[in-house]
A and B are shown apart, each in its own frame.
Chain A
Amino acid sequence: MTDAEIRSLFPELMNERDGRRMVYLDSAATSQRPSEVIEAVGSFYANDNANPHRGTYLEAEKATEVYEEARNRTASFIGAESRDVIFTRNTSEAMNLLAYTWGAENVGAGDRVVITIMEHHSNLLPWQRLCRMKGAELVYLYLNDSFEITDSEIEEKINADTKLVAFTHVSNVLGVMPPVGKIISRAKETGAVTVMDCAQSVPHMKVDVNELGADFIAFSGHKMFAPFGIGALWGRDELLESMPPFLSGGDMIEYVREQDATWAPLPQKFEAGTQDPGAAAGLLAAISFMERIGMDVIAQRERDVYDYALSRLSELDHVEVYGPADRERFGAIPFNVKDVHPHDTATVLSADRVCVRAGHHCAQPLLKSMGLNSCCRISFSVYNSREDVDLLCDSLKKVRGRLGL
Chain B
Amino acid sequence: MELDELYTQVITENSRSREHRYQMQAPSVVKEGVNPSCGDEITLQLELDGDVIKDAAFIGDGCAISQASANIMIDLILGKTVEEAKALSGTFMGMIKGEVTDEDSLESLEDAQAFQGISHMPSRVKCAVLGWHTLEEALKGKDGNT
Contact = CB atoms under 8 A, between A and B. Distances in A.
B3 A374 contact: no
Given A341-B64, A343-B63, A373-B61, A404 B3 contact: no
A374 B64 contact: no
Contacts of A402: 3, 7
Contacts of B39: 359-360, 373-374
Nearest to B11: A404
A403 B62 contact: no
B37 interface: yes
Interface string B16-51: 000000000000000000000111110000000000
Contacts of B84: none
Nearest to A351: B3
B37 A347 contact: no
A403 B63 CA distance: 11
Most buried by B among A343, A374, A404: A343
A73 B2 CA distance: 47
B138 interface: no
A344 B37 contact: no
B12 A347 contact: no
B9 interface: yes
A358 B38 contact: yes
B63 A344 contact: yes
A404 B121 CA distance: 20
Contact of A404 (B13, B37, B65, B124): B13
A398 B12 CA distance: 15
Interface residues of B, number: 22
B16 to A, nearest CB: 8
B127 interface: yes
Interface in A336-367: 340-344, 347-348, 351, 358-360
Contacts of A359: 37-39
Given A347-B6, A348-B3, A403-B7, A374 B65 contact: no
B37 to A, nearest CB: 7
A344 B38 contact: no
B120 to A, nearest CB: 12
Contacts of A344: 7, 63-65
A374 B121 CA distance: 20
Nearest to A401: B7
A359 to B, nearest CB: 5
Interface in A371-397: 373-374
Nearest to A398: B3
A405 B15 CA distance: 11
Contact of A341 (B2, B13, B63): B63
A137 B63 CA distance: 36
A341 B62 contact: yes
A359 B37 CA distance: 8
Contacts of A360: 39
Contacts of B38: 343, 358-359, 374
A343 B65 CA distance: 9
B79 to A, nearest CB: 28
A404 B63 contact: no
Nearest to B67: A341
B70 to A, nearest CB: 13
Interface in A128-173: none
Nearest to B6: A347
B38 to A, nearest CB: 5
A234 B39 CA distance: 34
Contacts of B40: 343
Contacts of B6: 347
A344 B64 CA distance: 7
Nearest to A348: B3
Nearest to B40: A343
Contacts of A358: 38
A206 B44 CA distance: 51
Interface of B: 2-3, 6-7, 9, 12-13, 15, 37-41, 61-65, 67, 121, 124, 127
7 contacts: A341-B67, A344-B63, A344-B65, A348-B3, A402-B7, A403-B7, A404-B13
Given A343-B40, A343-B127, 13 more contacts: A343-B62, A343-B63, A343-B65, A344-B7, A344-B63, A344-B65, A348-B7, A358-B38, A373-B61, A402-B7, A403-B7, A403-B12, A403-B64
